Structure 1
Amino acid sequence: MSSILRPAPTMLLPELPPKTLVGIDLITFTSTPKFHGIRDLPDGWHFLYTGTTESLSLRSGAWFYVGDINALPHEHKDSALVPRKSNQNQDSGPVIYIWKWSSDTESLTSLKPGDATDTRMAMYYKANLASIWQSGGLFQYRSRITRPPAKDNSESNENENSEQVDQTIQSEQAQIQDDQETEEIGREDWRLLTNRLSPRLLSRIVGDPNYDLDTHPRWMVTSASTADRDADHIPGLDPQKVSEDGVPETTGEQERAFRFVEIDLKYTWREGAVGRERTTAALDRSWALGDLIHSISRYSNPVSGEIAFDESVGERDLLGEMQFTFLMVLTMMNYSCLQQWKRILELVLTSSVAIVEREAFVTEFLALLLRQLKRCDDVEGGLFDMDGDDGGAFLRDMLKKLRRSVDERVRVDDKSMVRDELACLERWVKEEYDWELAHESFVKRGMVRLEDGEEVEIDMNDDDDEDEETGEYAPMVVDSEQNQF
């Protein structure tokens, strides 16, 4: 009974219309008239979003954290993003989040501090939480959709012998155990997909959070959110007004800019570089990667208030941005996040010197990439088909270059975490996509016998090689004398 009176962290969604698409982390479902919320939320980051239909509708969602957000490891608190008051509320009783449905914006909004109506609503639902729980109106949190429980065949079991009954019980127990293991794997999967997120990162990308009555912060995102560089600006049309909760004031698209890190893949050398230095930096983007990490490593010391730089902070933020952009593609099908995810991939995977100089970072990056690729099928229509990527050809080419760089930078008898992690990634893409990353695995030139018996030599040059200056990357010979004016 005590578990009913003092439940685990719970999300209440009053007045949510039936048949609304609801997503929490890695699962989605359609709400029913009986559905009132989600219970047993585990500690950590979560993303809850809704849509009026399963497809072709604007999706709105928000990031929130269950637990003591101020106790997050490695979080440099250079600004008071999360009031300490939230921890006091959590200690006084069960943690309850209440997001009400707004018919004007067709999205969930948090209850506002100082609003008498919202305050009464919060008191009512908190007082009646036990009855909502007992009525079955709360969906138990799951990281995976498990198989439905076995039907009750008590009447038929009376006619079965004891051996058949024992087999049925054993089968049900095995199913329960399998579902528990699947759930544990799913929760660990989600944790590793979000372990580099932080209030500092989300506030940089999305903006300052909103706070509810209990000072729980949340960071609002919609499927129409975009970075300025990815937006289609139409002259004469003003940006749409956005409410305090970060959602459009009408049901149209939102024009709220993401503040991603600036990645310019066409300018990857230091200012003033000339000649060979520029050429080297254009082929090996390690300098640009280091400069980017340094630029986001700045933080204010919470004790002295002095400005300091810690590149481990920048590396975590870049990994966190990769996690954020991928999950917004996975859940919201956000186009701008897809473009930034690809830019981060290309920057890191073409940084040859970083394989040695930033070995721990690149190793974690490859482990995260593999975990993300294993979730690509969750994207509606396929991740690589969203942008016409021809089955992920851009990623295959980047991984080939990385494999070649590892072979050049790391000796065979040297221990390398990057090489070991790349080997795991290579095995998986070979099995899943039939990609060959080893350069020597391809036969570039050979003799082919035609139907009439004639033999001809062919050159397999499907992939123009930028490093070897073949195909479209081949140098052009220009007669300087004929081009003089």
Structure 2
Amino acid sequence: MVEMVNAPGKSGATTDVYPPPAAHIRPSFASLPKSATTQSPTEASLKSVKSVESIAANGAFPLGSLRVNDLNQDDQPATPLTTPAIPNQTMEVSKAKPPPALLKGGDVFILDDLPANFTVGCDAMSFNTTKPFPGFKDLPPGAHLIWVAPSESTSSRSAYWIHTPEKDPEEPGEVYVKQWDKFNEVLGDPASHAEERFQKEKLEQIFGSLAPYQFRATTSGKLQIEAPSQEDDALPTFLNNTTIWFQLTFAISPGLLNRITSKDQRTWPVTTMDGVSGEVSMAEEARLYAKGTPQLRFMFPMDTHLINPEAEGRERTRQALDPTNWIIDKLEGATAGGHADDLVGELQFGFLTGMHLGNYSCLEQWWFFVTRLVFRSYNLVVERPQLARDLIQTFHAQLLYNDRYMDGDVLEDMPANAKMLQKAMVTYKARLDEKLLALGDRCTPDQHSAGVAFSSLEAWLWRLGWDLRGEYVRSGNVMLEDGEIVQAELSDFEDEDERGEFAPVVVDLEDGRETGLVSWDR
């Protein structure tokens, strides 16, 4: 049995009614209630053939779909599929394949039903639309983040991560179709496969109106991409406008996105409201979110203990001071199933999702990475120098991206975390210099490259006023704004000896007890 209606259209659209088809073909609206009529059967049949009246249909299968249910109805041999002879009309079944020539420049991302006056972003650019925006074309290989928001000041944004693989230049790209859900105010999948097919079928008609990936416009909004300045000449090549997005996303793979979002698919949705597994939330805050809020799962959650439970003695102390071995075990352990790029990929995902969508949970996860893992793993430059270099360069690219492309400032918005990061980097520089100096002639090119990457990062941090050299004056005279000179003592590292977080403190003992303690013994 085949169910068929004549013209393609969206769910809820109006479509002219064709006459009843031949055997084994039934109109999908046959079950609609019949209206009362006083016409003769002949007049009714004639009207159904030439009717200009339309009906509205709602359902999972919109008008225009062709579905084969059963060709062997009533246990009879299958008969060839036939179509009614309708004068001057033909029926064709489209395969919904856009012309390959349109997709040779890269993938296409269609935004269906997106209203006007939206803020739309794609990777390093964003702009305000003055009319419904159809989407993007010529997306190059790599990971891409496309997001939308009802306005610049809105507190909720929704987005999709996609990953375009490397392919032969002659091989056409893919077409992604996402639809704006007006009821839930979120970007989601099309309402049906027929709707997705309809959008792909009309790609040739709208292809010219799609924005190219390297979009430059002056009428539709303000882009966040700035022209290169003289300062760019002193930056490494991986930080220029054409390569910075690759540096920010090169470790984000489909496998990583599947694991973080717990969804094995071709596109990965994320929103402002997504939580992160392992974060500590106040009870009042937790009640504000729905119970079904998606949880992003990182291999290195922020509530984890950076010590292998099986480690004992000196190894346990070493991991407490430097989690390098714990990280390597986590990435390469059989139970974790990790990859060397997973830590870099999670660092990249947390920063971009947090900054572009205003996702506070992802930003908290990013702060955990940079203050507790990346710049406390001092021995990583010796054991895994390529991983150390990639982490340093990614962090450098993130700070530059934050300074050049983003409206907000992750360092200014969280000053307490920024202060903690600065202290961690001071300690990291001292330990890094010690280890590279100890290697001497045994220093490999990768280890040297990691040291050069940190030197480049240190030079860039000077513009923020961050001095990582570590020669700090603990006490001295300071002139105040009114000219008064007072004696002050810095307390940044007062709890640290040799700049180690868990370094021991020398105390005086008396009868086995620390002197100066209050005793309650009589």
Same fold? TM cut 0.5: yes
Secondary structure at the aligned position of 1:58 is classed as coil
What's the CA shift for 1:147? 7.1
Distance 1:23 1:448, change over 3 A: closer
Q: Counterpart of 2:127?
A: 29
Pair 1:240 & 2:290 matched? yes
Contact 1:268/1:282 (CA < 8 Å) preserved in 2?
Answer: yes
Residue 283 (structure 1) aligned with residue 283 (structure 2): no
CA distance in 1, matches of 2:399, 2:454: 13
Asked if 1:423 corresponds to 2:497, the answer is no
Q: Which runs of 5+ in 1 are unaligned?
A: 72-89, 149-181, 211-216, 243-254, 300-312
Aligned to 2:159: 61
Report the TM-score when normalising by structure 1.
0.69
Question: How far did 1:450 drift?
Answer: 9.9
Instruction: Tell whether 2:185 aligns with 1:126.
Output: no
Q: Which has the higher contact order (CA 8 A, sep 6+)?
A: 1
Cα separation, partners in 2 of 1:33 and 1:314, compared to 1, 3 Å = same
CA distance in 2 between counterparts of 1:467 and 1:475 reads: 10
In structure 2, the partner of 1:252 is: none
Q: Superposed, which structure 2 residues align to 1:119-198 within 5 Å?
A: 119=194, 121-134=195-208, 137-142=209-214, 185-198=240-253
Counterpart of 1:467 (choices 477, 480, 497) is 497
Contact 1:263 1:344 in 2 (8 A): no
The CA distance in 1 between the partners of 2:498 and 2:253, in whole Å, is 41
Secondary structure of 1:406's partner?
helix
Is residue 159–residue 271 contact of structure 2 (8 Å, CA) maintained in 1? Answer: yes
- Residue number in structure 2 paired with 1:156: none
- Secondary structure in 1 matching 2:146: strand
Q: Distance in 2 between matches of 1:450 and 1:381?
A: 31
Alpha-carbon distance change, 472 to 56 in structure 1, aligned in 2, over 3 angstroms? farther
When residues 36 and 332 of structure 1 are mapped into structure 2, their CA distance, relative to the original with a 3 A threshold, is same
Indicate if the aligned counterparts of 1:209 and 1:220 stay in contact, CA closer than 8 A: no
Query: Are the equivalent residues in 2 in contact too, given 1:25–1:48 (CA < 8 A)?
Result: yes
1:384 corresponds, among 408, 411, 414, to 411
Letter in 2 for 1:129: L
Deviation at 1:22, TM superposition (A): 1.0
CA RMSD after TM alignment: 3.9
What's 1:401 paired with? 427
Residue 189 of structure 2, aligned match among 85, 110, 113: 110
Match of 2:4 in 1: none
**Counterpart in 2 of 1:206?**
261
State how far apart, in whole Å, the 2-side matches of 1:111 and 1:460 are: 59
Read off the aligned partner of 1:257 and give its amino acid letter: Q
Pairwise CA distance, 1:335:
1.1
For residues 398-457 of structure 1, the C-alpha deviation after alignment (integer angstroms, 9 at most, x for no partner) is 1111111012212175442222111111111113x12110112x3334456999x99976
- Give the corresponding residue for 1:319: 344
1: CA distance, partners of 2:261 / 2:117: 29
1:476/1:291 CA distance change after superposition, 3 Å: farther
Q: Which amino acid aligns with 1:44?
A: G
Q: For the structure 1 residues 222 and 271, does the alpha-carbon distance in structure 2 shift closer, same or farther, using more than 3 Å as the test? A: same
2:278 to 224, 229, 254: 229
Cα deviation digits, residues 84-141 of structure 1 (max 9, x gap): xxxxxx95x66322212111121222236xx3xx41x34443343333234xx32222
Verify the 8 A CA contact 2:402 2:408 in the aligned structure 1: no
- Checking the alignment, whether the CA contact within 8 Å between 2:117 and 2:132 is kept in structure 1 is no
Contact map agreement 1:11 1:97 (CA 8 A) in 2: yes
Identify the residue that residue 138 of structure 2 maps to in structure 1.
Answer: 40
Distance 1:32 1:4, change over 3 A: farther
Q: Is the contact between residue 406 and residue 419 of structure 1 (CA under 8 Å) also seen in structure 2? A: yes
- Contact residue 156 and residue 273 of structure 2 kept, 8 A: yes
In 1, Cα distance between the equivalents of 2:114 and 2:480? 66
SS in 1 for 2:139: coil
1:191 deviates by 1.4
SS state of the match for residue 221, structure 1?
strand
Question: 1:298-331 CA distances to partner (integer Å, 9 max, x unpaired)?
Answer: 44xxxxxxxxxxxxx5321111101100111221
Q: CA deviation at 1:264?
A: 6.1
The answer to whether the aligner puts 1:15 opposite 2:89 as a matched pair is no
Check the 8 A contact 1:39/1:141 in 2, yes or no.
yes
Q: Please identify which structure carries the higher helix content.
A: 1
Q: Which letter does structure 1 place at the counterpart of 2:252? A: L
Select 2:519's aligned residue among 467, 482, 485.
482
Unaligned runs of 5+ in 2: 1-98, 220-236, 509-513
Residue 450 of structure 2 aligns with an amino acid whose one-letter code is: V
Q: 2:354 aligns with which of 313, 329, 339?
A: 329
Rg comparison, structure with higher value? 2
Partner residue in 2 for 1:444: 474
Tell whether the 8 Å contact from 2:302 to 2:365 is kept in structure 1 after alignment: no
The alpha-carbon deviation at position 273 of structure 1 amounts to 5.3
The offset of 1:39, in angstroms, is 1.9
Structure 2 CA distance, aligned partners of 1:271 and 1:298?
15
Contact 1:464 1:472 in 2 (8 A): no
Following TM superposition, by how much is the alpha carbon of 1:351 offset from its aligned partner in structure 2, in angstroms?
1.7
Aligned residue type for 2:309:
E
- Please give the per-residue CA displacement for 1:224-278, whole angstroms capped at 9, x wherever unaligned: 1112332536489596365xxxxxxxxxxxx211111245688433436566554
Distance 1:447 1:241 in 2: 56
Q: Which amino acid aligns with 2:270?
A: V
Q: Which amino acid aligns with 2:290?
A: Q
Contact 2:355–2:363 (8 Å) recurs in 1: no
Task: Kindly provide the amino acid, as one letter, of the partner of residue 229 in structure 1.
Answer: G
| Matched-pair identity in % | 27
- 3-state SS, counterpart of residue 268 of structure 1: coil
Partner of 1:368: 394
Report how far residue 296 of structure 1 moved: 7.6
Q: Which residue of 2 aligns with 1:434?
A: 465
Letter of the 1:436 counterpart: D
